[in-house]
Structure 1
């Protein structure tokens, strides 16, 4: 005899309060929060909570952090003391559990239709392309969430590689050195 299928108790996966991302393990959630939401924007030091990051930025860099970075609107309050799943408002956890149960119920309600005994469609060829005069109006939107702080700074005009300004600066320095050498030779 085989084992009986026991109904598995499925707990809610840990999720990030600030960006609603789900994780398999709470340790990975802690790493995510430290890297994305609780790191200093100036010195890139990582902290355990948003409040500790805010006090660091205030004391060390003399700046005031008003909201948690990379957080959804409405969930960017620094006043909440959240570390992993600890401190997450219980209403939000209940709401998420209810939505997960609702999704599971929807999946169970969907019935797969049985195939008819008639002939199945056979692939003959690819459909012919449709030619039209209208152009595709699709716009690509790139979010800068995947770009690191260093990459953002490299895009600033201050750090861009500009051949003309570099040549101008080199020529100016070369002229100054040449004038100093000439003044030393004449004296």
Structure 2
């Protein structure tokens, strides 16, 4: 799993439309304690500047004999967040499932279909999508993650100064993997 991946399709149980584009992830692993870190970049689909935002998440590997199961917990979030590598050939495609089990609310699910390249064959996407319904993923809300023109402003338009002045700072915008999910 280590290295760079493009998110090709994305599902989150709390979202009815995909607000993100150009999501890429870089996975690294520390030897002790055994942890997987994902540093990722993304843009919002409606951002005419196509500003690249950054995020990260670090999981522990609770059982060294089970490298495909990672856990994450933070004091500000209730419960344990489990992530599973559902399937991968590790050289070109992967399917991740992220599940938050909370004591006072229904679980939160998300999933990534990822590729080492910005595009992935439709046959591989279909193969991976076919695995998701058994995990209660509604394929209707499995969205394509655009990987086009990720390094240029959208539509090549000039941005009016009023838009620039009224933009929320990145820290106040939604983060795709952290705590703003209502179920």
For the aligned pair, the TM-score class normalised by the smaller chain equals: under 0.3
- Structure (1/2) with the larger strand percentage: 2
- Structure (1/2) with the larger helix percentage: 1
Structure label with greater radius of gyration: 1
